Every structure is written in structure tokens, then in C-alpha cells.
Structure 1
Amino acid sequence: MKFTGSCHCGQVVFEIEGELTQVTECNCSICSQKGALLWGVPPDRFRLLTFQEKMATYTFGAQAIKHRFCPKCGIHTFAEGVLSGNPMVVVNARCLEGVELSSLPLRHFDGRSL
């Protein structure tokens, strides 16, 4: 299934393809403050519909994950990195159109322990 997502103001827009069967809540320092619900897919299932210049990037710690967000409205839309040796794009499922997140199982991830 294909989903469209965007930031609040619509400057950052993306498409993601896959089966959204659950979302993940991470308790690491950045995820717990953002309050994002996460869904990860391989990069070939993610398509950015916005020019890179329209986005901002934040990295911290080991600089391994690129947290992408809209510099206009401030909404975190997705992140790019390597998880368990595999390239991954992790979207903020709260940015997806037409998804009732409360109907999906919630998986907790202990990111503080990494």
C-alpha cells in the first residue's frame, strides 16, 4: 500500500510504500521529546517529493542518523540511517495522511539503552 506524508505546512512531502501493521515508540532522548510514532522501510520504498534544499537536517552523538525536518513549520518528518546493518528510512507516522494510528499496535523500543 502507498501512503503520502507531509509536514504541517506542506513544504516537505514524501511517499512511502509498505504494510503499516504497527508503529514504534522509542524512548531515546530525541524520540521521546519529539513524540513521533515510527515506521521504518528500506530506502527503495521511500520517495521524497520535496527538493533536499527545502529540508533541514539534525544529527547528534555518532552522527549516524540524519533527522530530517521542515525548517518552516519545524515538524520532524523522517530520518535516514542504518539499523542492524541495513539502510533504513524511518518516517514519523503522525505525518501520514488518512491513517488512524490508534488502531495500530504500538511497539515500545528501548533506545535509551543503545
Structure 2
Amino acid sequence: MDSQYILLLSVLDAGKSFGELALINPDCIRNATIISDCSAHLLSVQRELFNQCLRTAQTAEFQAKLDFVRSCEFFNKWNPRLKRQAAMSLRKGSFRFNQFIIRQGEPVNGIAYIIR
């Protein structure tokens, strides 16, 4: 694959998932290509089991991200499709008191929003 056409959106660590948005959305079309940059072992959940066990939680998590994007002034002028893509790319993190979030001089690789 020609690297000029590859856009790195995220690096996923052990325990993280991908593919759930294609199961949540009714059109079930993949919206990204996932490429491993090292040897990896995966576990998969079939659609039927996903629908029985995980769909409610995954849908609620995505809806919360989409609600945030819709309420954030930064995204006001974005069209609905771009807002959905922004919601898909959001990753939630937690930080302890006095923990560094970003250090001066580090390369910039994204934007952070304080939610609480």
C-alpha cells in the first residue's frame, strides 16, 4: 500500500477495540482500514453476540461522544457527516491531580477538551 495515502488516525493498545461503529450503524459499512504495525493477537465478537451483549453500551458511548460534538462550539459549523467522524475519533482519558497531560515542547498530535 502506498504510504502517501495512509492517514494515521489512532494507535490502539491492548484491550482497545475497533469495528464496533460498523455494527452500530444500520448501513454496516466500514469507514476505516486498520493496519497492524506489529505482530498482534485479536479476539473477535460476531454480530449476533454483539447485538445481544454489547450493542447497548457501545451505542450509548457513541451517542455521548456525538452529543458532546454537537454541543461543542468548536464544531458548530461542521456538517453532520464530519461531526459523526469527529465523534468516532474521540478517545476519553482520565488524569489524576497534578498529572502531566501535555508538556511544553512536546510535539502536538491532537486537541484536548475538558469535559469535567
Instruction: Give the TM bin, normalised by the shorter chain.
Output: under 0.3
Between Structure 1 and Structure 2, the one with more helix by share is 2
- Compare relative contact order (CA 8 Å, sep 6+) and give the higher one, 1 or 2: 1
